[in-house]
């Protein structure tokens, strides 16, 4: 790619070797700053200091930190597309699984190189719908390589799974790094590769349906008392209703604006109450967000507790549809969690406790299939349950039933090894 200076810098827009070196230093420094300070805290001054260049030098090549981010995102997308183009046609044998394992090895290398980009995406993507559209195109191009022409699948669901498969995979990698770093990377890659292979070819004994390992513990970690944390002792019936009103308004506002751009003014306007009413219930935006998180996580855990033990098609379809609708109501809160670059030890411990409890419950669902690594696959299952609704809620474009169909396909054929 030819590097050029922005107008009106320099008499010639073409950049020589010295300018190319400065350009690369700025990109590499930006990755370091995003990793250390998060996207929201990454100021241009921090980037230029890390790059060892002046502000005028920065603005010769980039208009803002957003511009830097999306240039890096372009490099990241190109790397993933090049990797996926190397894949040949998938075969229903061990060679087909190995090809997917090699793809995962490449994805992990890319993830390691660009890790700050993934955690910052939900914030950066709020800055323009054209960015979202470009991301969807990249996801679909890669998805066409990973899950081409699935059998017995309608065209709309095929397009939806092509769009979702890369975000699901990356979400699984994120949860692996966050929650189960003790799980060997090779074990996760092999299990995830087998899931994608089953999605294409169905369960094949001795190829993608190995012996059962990684069973869930006999008892799951106890979950927090969500109701008590939201309302506490001594809150009157009227007070509970007011608090519910504020929390509902907060969930809607967060979904639209994100954590950093949500103001108390927005919440009270949406709820139709005064600032005084807000502060009688919540001392700050941070405490309000904590209560919102408890409410959202409580609804998610309650649904996971009700995953049908007898997963016939009708019951499972109804449950996935209910999950999607619940996420569309509360997903803005759960997504905002990733926008807080430094959540603090208390929030981190709380989130980890809930996430581990959810994964253990998901493992129990996977235990029923009688094969495979249920601990590793629970990460992909959580990734599907989070990314599918997130994409539907934030990117739009698909009817709920299409998203439900894609999630059911991934759950039944990919994770459970059943035909649709």
Q: In the structure encoding, which two tokens stand for residue 399, read together?
A: 């009817």
CATH 1.10.10.60 maps onto the chain at: 1-63
The helix or strand, by DSSP H or E, that contains position 188, with its residue range, turns out to be helix 185-201
Q: Which two tokens stand for residue 255?
A: 């979904």
Helix, strand and coil percent figures for the chain, each rounded to 5: 75, 0, 25
Give yes or no for residue 330 having a pLDDT over 80.
Answer: no
- Asked if residue 16 has pLDDT above 60, the reply is no
Residue 14 bridge partners (DSSP): 4
Share of the chain above pLDDT 70, in %: 87
The topology (CATH level 3) of 1-63 is Arc Repressor Mutant, subunit A (1.10.10)
Please check the confidence at residue 207 and state whether its pLDDT lies above 90.
yes
Give the rounded distance of the alpha carbon of 200 from its chain centre. 23
The pLDDT of residue 236 is 87
Between the alpha carbon of residue 96 and those of residues 83, 91, 101, 158, 189, the distances in Å are: 16, 5, 9, 20, 14
Closest C-alpha among 342, 329, 349, 338 to residue 389: 329
Residues of the chain with CATH 1.10.357.10: 226-369
Average pLDDT over residues 271-285: 92
pLDDT at 14 over 60: no
Q: Residue 159: what pLDDT? A: 93
Residue 143's Cβ-side half-sphere holds a number of Cα atoms within 13 Å equal to: 23
What pLDDT shows up at residue 356?
Answer: 83
- Residue 215 pLDDT more than 90? no
Mean pLDDT in residue range 311-337: 79
Residue 269: enclosing H or E segment and its boundaries?
Answer: helix 264-271
- Determine which helix (DSSP H) or strand (DSSP E) holds 407, and give its type and residue range: helix 400-409
Predicted pLDDT of residue 232: 76
Q: What is the structure's pLDDT at 91?
A: 94
Query: For residue 34, what pLDDT is reported?
Result: 92
Q: How much is the pLDDT for 359?
A: 87
pLDDT-derived band at 340, boundaries 50, 70, 90:
low
β-pair partners for 209: 205
pTM for the model: 0.84
pLDDT tens for each residue of 110-145? 999 999 898 778 777 766 556 777 788 889 999 999
Which residue would you say has higher pLDDT here, 101 or 330?
101
pLDDT at 345 (0 to 100): 59
| Burial of residue 131 (number of CB atoms within 10 Å: 0-12, 13-18, 19+) | middle
- The string of DSSP letters for 113-178 reads HHHHHHHHHHHHGGG-HHHHHHHHHHHHHHHHHHS-S-TT--HHHHHHHHHHHHHHHHHHHHHHHH
- What mean pLDDT is reported for the chain? 85
Joined together, the tokens standing for residue 279 give 């502060």
Given a contact cutoff of 8 angstroms between Cβ atoms, the answer to whether 327 and 389 are in contact is: yes
Residue among 40, 29, 37 at smallest CA distance from 121: 40
- Among residues 85, 69, 136, the alpha carbon closest in space to that of 394 is found at 136
Query: 34-43, 91-100, 303-312: lowest mean pLDDT where?
Result: 303-312
Give the model's pLDDT for residue 184.
93
Locate tokens 């692996």: which residue?
176
pLDDT tens for 378-414 read 999 988 988 888 777 666 667 889 999 999 999 999 9
Nearest to 383, CA basis, from 178, 170, 160? 170
Between the two ends of the chain, the Cα-to-Cα distance in Å is 45
Identify the pLDDT of residue 19.
58
CATH superfamily membership of 226-369: Tetracycline Repressor, domain 2 (1.10.357.10)
pLDDT at 335 exceeding the cut of 70:
no
Distance from C-alpha of 160 to C-alpha of 156, rounded to nearest angstrom = 6
Higher per-residue confidence, 214 vs 49: 49
Q: At what angle do helices 17-41 and 94-124 cross, to 10 degrees?
A: 70
């Amino acid at each position: 790619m030819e590097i050029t200076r922005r107008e009106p810098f320099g008499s010639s827009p073409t950049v020589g070797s010295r300018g190319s070196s400065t350009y690369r230093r700025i990109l590499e420094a930006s990755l370091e700053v995003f990793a250390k300070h998060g996207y929201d805290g990454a100021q241009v001054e921090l980037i230029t200091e890390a790059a060892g260049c002046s502000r005028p030098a920065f603005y010769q090549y980039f208009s803002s930190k957003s511009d830097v981010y999306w240039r890096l995102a372009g490099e990241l997308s190109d790397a993933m597309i090049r990797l996926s183009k190397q894949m040949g046609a998938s075969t229903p044998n061990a060679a087909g699984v190995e090809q997917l394992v090699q793809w995962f090895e490449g994805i992990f290398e890319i993830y390691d190189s660009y890790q700050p980009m993934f955690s910052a995406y939900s914030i950066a993507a709020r800055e323009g719908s054209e960015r979202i559209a470009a991301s969807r195109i990249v996801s679909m191009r890669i998805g066409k390589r990973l899950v081409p022409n699935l059998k017995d699948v309608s065209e709309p669901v095929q397009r939806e799974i092509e769009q979702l498969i890369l975000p699901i995979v990356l979400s699984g990698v994120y949860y692996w790094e966050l929650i189960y770093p003790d799980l060997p990377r090779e074990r996760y890659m092999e299990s995830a590769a087998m899931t994608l292979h089953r999605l294409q070819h169905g369960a094949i004994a001795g190829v993608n349906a190995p012996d059962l390992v990684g069973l869930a513990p006999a008892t799951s970690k106890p979950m927090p008392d969500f109701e008590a944390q939201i309302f506490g002792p001594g809150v009157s019936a009227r007070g509970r209703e007011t608090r519910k009103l504020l929390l509902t308004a907060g969930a809607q506002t967060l979904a639209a604006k994100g954590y950093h751009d949500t103001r108390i003014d927005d919440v009270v306007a949406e709820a139709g109450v005064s600032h005084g009413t807000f502060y009688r219930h919540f001392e700050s935006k941070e405490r309000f967000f904590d209560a919102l998180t408890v409410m959202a996580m409580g609804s998610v855990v309650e649904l996971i507790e009700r995953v049908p033990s007898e997963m016939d098609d009708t019951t499972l379809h109804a449950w996935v549809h209910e999950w999607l609708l619940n996420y569309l109501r509360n997903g803005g809160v759960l997504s905002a969690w990733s926008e807080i670059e430094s959540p603090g030890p208390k929030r981190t411990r709380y989130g980890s406790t809930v996430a581990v409890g959810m994964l253990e419950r998901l493992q129990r669902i996977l235990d029923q299939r009688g094969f495979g690594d249920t601990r590793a696959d629970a990460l992909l299952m959580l990734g599907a349950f989070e990314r599918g609704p997130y994409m539907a809620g934030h990117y739009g474009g698909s009817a709920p039933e299409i998203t439900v169909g894609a999630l059911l396909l991934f759950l039944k054929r990919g994770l459970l090894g059943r035909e649709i």
